[in-house]
Structure 1
Amino acid sequence: MSEQDAPLTGRIALVAGATRGAGRAIAVQLGAAGATVYVTGRTTREKVSEVGRPGETIEETAELVTAAGGTGIAVPTDHLERDRVRALVERIDRDHGRLDVLVNDVWGGEHLVGEVLENKPRMWEYDLDKGMRMLELGVRSHIITSSLALPLLVRNPGGLVVEVTDGTAESNRRYRENFYYDLTKNAPIRMAFCLAEDLRDFDGTAVSLTPGFLRSEQMLDMLGVTEDTWRDAVEKVPEFAIAESPVLVGRAVAALAADPGRRRWNGRSLSSGQLAKEYGFTDADGSRPDAWLYFEEVVWGDKDAPADDYR
């Protein structure tokens, strides 16, 4: 494989939260570009997390990374446990002495969101323990991981930090259904903005990145479709016509990691559709969906246009 085909050969990446969905796809696409990728999560072949999806494991993700052309290394890690995260970083340091890419994709709170989306409870109507758990999973875990991993990342100049979230800074000016969910999904945008300042002296780059309407394994199951039959769900959820596979956001991170001029994005809130246009990559089916532009102009705006115009 040539350097052009594998621009991330020799680079070391950590994808925190790579069991399924966007995290898995990001890890695989980094591997396809030649990187060594440490993949973490709480669901393994021996133990299932509170998400309750035993068929998706970090071991399988690591195998997919290796099959794609990289080196996948699965390390079971609960990113709310500081000692586990510290041990993970120490292992990467022992193995390679460097970390070039950190992707904070830890979440695993979909089981908490159903009531939020269906009933849209006011802040005081939502169970406090569930709300705080949402913040732990989507905010505190990111902070712990960055705090413990960034000393290794800044050891060499040019590191990349990607905070994965749901929504752009522009789209999230709208209320995101619920107090806790809104905070959880806006926090990574601000984290990237702040980390961008801290990384400037190290030639580093920090961005937040959102997929569009993601055809994750959980979303497909919820709608009763598969990746092959996903269009059958459009009748039930019309906006699903703009849905993208996790491959798109995976390729977005790989493109950022391989771009020597990525510092121009430092501190920015980005989307997979936006970067697909910028870097020229496509989704797995060859399309280039821009879900957030579609939502802005059609779903929330007054433009009358089909989703295919945004693919």
Structure 2
Amino acid sequence: MPAAPGSLKGRVALVAGGTRGAGRGIAVQLGAAGATVYVSGRSTAGRRSEYDRPETVEETADLVTAAGGQGIPVVCDHLERDQVEALVGRIDAEQGRLDVLVNDVWGGERLFEWDAPVWEHDLDNGLRLLRLAVETHAVTNHIALPLLLRTPGGGGLVVEMTDGTDEYNRANYRVSFFYDLAKSSVLRMAFALGHELGPRGATAVALTPGWLRSEMMLEAFGVAEENWREACERVPHFAISETPSYVGRAVAALAADPHVARWNGQSLSSGQLAREYGFTDLDGSRPDAWRYLVEVQDPGHPADTTGYR
């Protein structure tokens, strides 16, 4: 199954926070559609970030190139304005355009505490989470959007990556005060950007994957992608999970859509866009995790993905 209808050859993308997880999946699928993809992050072959994970921006860039695009790794801390300015300046000098900006910087897995009220949550960790999850996106938008807006032909796309749809997050408490605030802030960021970019010919959306089989998630369950279903024995609802390539194909489909402006300012999910554009996950399935959560998991029904993937 192709990544998305249409080709992105000649288009330039920046995936901010593309080292692993959804960011890596998005970068690779943009590459599979022919795009030149700048992959930024803090984890490099020479030095790990505070995550202390083995994945690097160089690896992601190599995967982009192997998929058919051109992957360009750039080590960048998106909290540091001078580093983001240097990154965007390099894209301008080398390409003269920026068609797609994906804001996927996160960095909070080890910083939030499940169901801990704000007065019991570690304050330093909570504030660090907000900086990584929200401030990085604001800094990157401030510096990169002028280049995106002057791209020849216009029609640039900004994708704000989050966890949860606007509808779901408004109705449900998400993990902790700080996690909830971070993910809801990014949703609102896409809404605000839609108002600012739409009249100028560009489009902004918020996008969430479902239950993502990221490197860290697979590791937490003690499985690999090849045997991920074994984790369903312990957590049956994990059966609705999806690969990072699935949300990657969603971004590639949006970027190739000449009528993408119809989504401006909206909150979208990988499952929703799979129905719209006709792409599948790597195994040929089409998981719809957020509908499944509302209709099956949250009401406490037995795990059954029939009709949901």
Q: Give the TM bin, normalised by the shorter chain.
A: over 0.9
Partner of 2:104: 105
Contact preservation (8 Å) 1:205, 1:263:
yes
% of aligned pairs identical?
Answer: 64
Could you state the TM-score of these two structures normalised by the residue count of structure 2? Answer: 0.96
Which residue identity lines up with residue 23 of structure 2 in the other structure?
Answer: G
1:167 paired with 2:142, answer no
Cα separation, 2, equivalents of 1:222 and 1:112? 16
Say whether 1:13 aligns with 2:13.
Answer: yes
- Match runs of 1:201-216 below 5 Å: 201-216=199-214
Q: Do the aligned partners of 1:41 and 1:78 also contact (CA within 8 Å) in 2?
A: yes
AA of the residue aligned to 2:239 = A
User: Which residue does the alignment assign to 1:223?
Assistant: 221
Superposition deviation, residue 201 in structure 1: 2.2
| 1:264–1:5 Cα change, 3 Å | closer
Alignment of 1:50-89 (within 5 A): 50-54=50-54, 56-89=55-88
CA RMSD of aligned residues (A): 1.3
Distance 1:305 1:57, change over 3 A: closer
8 Å Cα contact 2:236-2:303 kept in structure 1: no
* Contact 2:210–2:270 (Cα < 8 Å) also in 1: yes
What's the CA shift for 1:203? 1.3
Describe the superposition over 1:62-87 as per-residue Cα deviations: whole angstroms up to 9, x where unpaired: 01101111000000000000000000
Q: Which residue of 2 aligns with 1:264?
A: 262
TM-score (norm 1): 0.95
TM-superposed CA distance for 1:308, in Å, is 3.2
| Contact residue 5 and residue 253 of structure 2 kept, 8 A | no
Residue 264 of structure 1 aligns with an amino acid whose one-letter code is R
Distance 1:50 1:237 in 2: 29
**Structure 2 counterpart of 1:141:** 136
Supply the distance in 2 between the matched residues of 1:307 and 1:149 (Cα, whole angstroms): 40
The answer to whether the 8 A contact 2:237-2:303 is kept is no
- SS of the aligned residue for 2:225 comes to coil
Aligned residue identity for 2:145: L
Asked whether the 8 Å contact 1:123–1:179 carries over to 2, the reply is: yes
Give the aligned length: 303
Q: For 1:310, what is the secondary structure of its paired residue?
A: coil
CA distance in 1 between partners of 2:303 and 2:214 (Å)? 25
The 8 Å contact of residues 6 and 32 in structure 1, kept in 2 or not, is answered as: no
User: What is the rounded CA distance, in whole Å, between the counterparts of 1:166 and 1:89 in structure 2?
Assistant: 26
Work out the CA distance in 1 between the residues paired with 2:256 and 2:301.
36
Give CA deviations for 1:116-138 in whole Å, capped at 9, x if unaligned: 22xx1110101110000100110
Deviation at 1:229, TM superposition (A): 0.9
User: Are the counterparts in 2 of residues 242 and 308 from structure 1 also a CA contact under 8 Å?
Assistant: no
Contact 1:79 1:141 in 2 (8 A): yes
Which secondary structure state, in structure 2, belongs to the residue aligned with residue 283 of structure 1?
A: coil
In structure 2, C-alpha distance between the alignment counterparts of 1:237 and 1:302, rounded to whole Å: 13
Runs of 4+ in 1 over 4 A off after TM superposition: 302-305
Paired residues of 1:58 and 1:76 also in contact (CA < 8 A): yes
Separation (CA, whole Å) in 2 of partners of 1:99 and 1:292: 31
One-letter amino acid of the structure 2 residue matched with residue 161 of structure 1: V
Shift of the alpha carbon at 1:239? 1.5
**Alpha-carbon deviations, 1:70-125, whole Å to 9, x = none?**
00000000000000000000000001111000000001211123xx22xx111010
Q: Supply the distance in 1 between the matched residues of 2:264 and 2:30 (Cα, whole angstroms).
A: 20
Counterpart of 1:278 in structure 2 is 276
Secondary structure of the residue that 1:260 maps to in structure 2? coil
Corresponding residue of 1:297: 295
Contact 1:12 1:36 in 2 (8 A): yes
Q: Secondary structure at the match of 1:111?
A: coil
Does the aligned pair in 2 maintain the 1:112–1:134 contact within 8 Å?
yes
SS in 2 for 1:103: strand
| CA distance 1:239–1:57, shift in 2 (3 Å) | same
State the alpha-carbon separation in 1 of the partners of residues 21 and 303 from structure 2: 29
Q: Distance in 1 between matches of 2:158 and 2:230?
A: 36
**Alpha carbons of structure 1 residues 132 and 37: separation in structure 2 relative to 1, 3 Å:** same
**Larger RCO, structure (CA 8 Å, separation 6 or more):** 2
Q: Structure 2: 5+ residue runs without aligned partners?
A: none
**Cα gap change, 1:44 to 1:245, in 2 (>3 Å):** same
